[in-house]
Structure 1
């Protein structure tokens, strides 16, 4: 068991224990309740209920069970490989596919597919994320760079951190715009009211900048191109919600009444980076999947207003 300790400060006081655990240890509300039920949480050395109101100065001890060791297996899942050489490959990830395994989700991921089709993958990110240097959400489709060796991984990771790797996304959002270009410069951090979401917040946030261009306006929607200057979790989805133009079909950040798209209409359209070995500047583009194209066509023909 790994023991973790936190002392409740004034700003975290007078909250239920399960909610306080979310804030103090960055775990989900359900996981917090499970740990309390398993008597893995002590407050001032004593076990208590999820409803206990923590107080300033309370000492909370969390006994975190060891991570389950899981063997990640190769799976014969078709891949849309846009480019490949000895160092990198660019893959077009479909909607509905998780990028890498995580607790409770160990199969059907992009990593499982890569391990079947690719002999060598970089090991910098460990056995759960071989070759993965960046990621996109499960229901976001589009282009990803995968690294085959540690040198390529180090070089691409550096380009990402230094903003030398360009990433562009296409999206369909609610409500038309009154201008053609815009920039959202708003910090993003964990949503204090819902730990499963991110939000524009001043607390525990990181700088986040999204540039966008309106490609086409419709009566109730807009088709846009987004360019990331930073790469925060759910960045485009959070920023579009923040400026009141949430992405169509987004179940987490969008409107309840939206089009039946089974996920957000967000696609990683373009990648541009410098090859880690040759030094050549490379750019790849891939148009959105059919469901995205179908919705866009219906908007252009007036079938969807």
Structure 2
């Protein structure tokens, strides 16, 4: 008698996991408007707040959505990293958005940042010229790559040196993602409080010590030079 082949039933257990939610607890401070007219509004973005919504309902709170509560026609022009505070400008008309966006693309805007970094900065001023590229296995991190990186240039001036730390003014001449953070790391002076790039001992601060202090841009209608400033909170 021929034996019947055994029938095998594989029951796969399904495990239901709740959607991943990254830790995101933005501050509830009211919007600080540093300039407004019929075409432009500039604000002082707090640290810990996204510039635009992230993926998922828990990341919907952002600078753009908050500005739109007071200025429903607000349109995005540029971004700041979540942990960077300071001047951020929005357009209130399509023409203003196009004009100011083109100025950022043409690198005709002038940006000034304040940063506190680890170590004693020897040079009083200088330039960091290191090409950057996405670190794909570790996104959203960026890295220096001399072979295929995109040009990235940052000028700097030393403000002070105290207790093994340096205070700098940084002037990005290009607008690469995480440019200032990666450039400071690459020359051996990571920004204090940087959760992505700094060593653990340097990252152990309440916030990233990087602030967009000043932005200069031409008015989209009159062409007049505008200067927006937000006092550094650290």
TM range (shorter): 0.7 to 0.9
Tell me if the contact between 2:114 and 2:213 (Cα under 8 Å) persists in the aligned partners. yes
Give the 3-state SS of the residue equivalent to 2:81 in structure 1: coil
Task: Tell me how far apart the structure 1 counterparts of residues 67 and 134 of structure 2 sit (CA, whole Å).
Answer: 30
Task: Tell me how far apart the structure 2 counterparts of residues 189 and 107 of structure 1 sit (CA, whole Å).
Answer: 27
**What residue in structure 1 maps to residue 63 of structure 2?**
110
Relative to structure 2, which stretch is displaced further, 255-264 or 212-221?
255-264
**What residue in structure 2 maps to residue 190 of structure 1?**
134
Task: Tell me how far apart the structure 2 counterparts of residues 240 and 260 of structure 1 sit (CA, whole Å).
Answer: 17
**What residue in structure 2 maps to residue 119 of structure 1?**
72
Change (3 A) 1:175 1:163: same
Q: Tell me which structure has the larger Cα radius of gyration.
A: 2
TM-score (norm 2): 0.84
Task: Tell me how far apart the structure 2 counterparts of residues 183 and 81 of structure 1 sit (CA, whole Å).
Answer: 32
Q: Which runs of 5+ in 1 are unaligned?
A: 1-75, 122-130, 293-305
- Flag as ranges the 4+ runs of structure 1 deviating above 4 A: none
**What residue in structure 1 maps to residue 3 of structure 2?**
none
Structure with more relative contact order (C-alpha pairs < 8 Å, separation 6 or more) = 2
Tell me if the contact between 1:170 and 1:268 (Cα under 8 Å) persists in the aligned partners. yes
Residue 90 (structure 2) pairs with residue 168 (structure 1): no
Task: Tell me how far apart the structure 2 counterparts of residues 209 and 255 of structure 1 sit (CA, whole Å).
Answer: 23
Tell me if the contact between 1:177 and 1:222 (Cα under 8 Å) persists in the aligned partners. yes
**RMSD after superposition:** 1.6
Shift of 1:82: 0.3
Tell me if the contact between 1:167 and 1:268 (Cα under 8 Å) persists in the aligned partners. yes
TM-score (norm 1): 0.65
Task: Tell me how far apart the structure 1 counterparts of residues 160 and 122 of structure 2 sit (CA, whole Å).
Answer: 11
Relative to structure 2, which stretch is displaced further, 84-93 or 249-258?
249-258
